[in-house]
Amino acid sequence: MKRRSAFAVCINNRGYPASLEAGKLYRVIPDPEATKHGYVRVVDESGEDYAYSSERFFPLEIPKGLKRALRVAPANRALQRTADSRGRRRARGLSGTHLAPRGRR
């Protein structure tokens, strides 16, 4: 998955139907450690950020204007605050295909 992508579409929710919706756009949280291991960190349906296999997502390059609109949309404000606060912390080791949110390991 490209590092620059701020959004990705879920293309495979097998095993996680309550957490991911196939065809839905998800905000990607930068996580270099997860990326090194083939994972992408997204804010899923729980409102928490989790690392999933990058094979479950298709990265999208979104025009700057739309990216700004998505980040400030009322439904995304709480997710943005959650993602921003978690995005500042570094991942500490990875295991499995669905990882606990940071701070809950």
pLDDT < 70 positions in the chain: 1-5, 73-105
Q: What is the pLDDT of residue 101?
A: 52
What is the pLDDT at residue 68?
81
pLDDT value of residue 100: 44
Q: Give the pLDDT score at 64.
A: 85
Entry field: residues in the chain: 105
Q: Reduce the DSSP state of residue 49 to 3 states and report it.
A: strand
Contact 29, 41 (CB under 8 A): yes
- pLDDT of amino acid 83: 47
Which tens digits make up the pLDDT trace of 88-102? 443 334 434 455 455
Nearest to 96 by CA among 55, 45, 51, 54: 51
> If 0-12 CB within 10 Å is exposed, 13-18 middle and 19+ buried, where does residue 101 land?
middle
What distances in angstroms separate CA 1 from CA 46, 51, 73, one per listed residue? Answer: 22, 13, 25
- Residue 16 has a pLDDT of 95
User: What is the secondary structure of 57-104 as a DSSP string?
Assistant: EEEE---HHHHHHHHHSHHHHHHHHHHHHHHTSPP----SSSPPPTT-
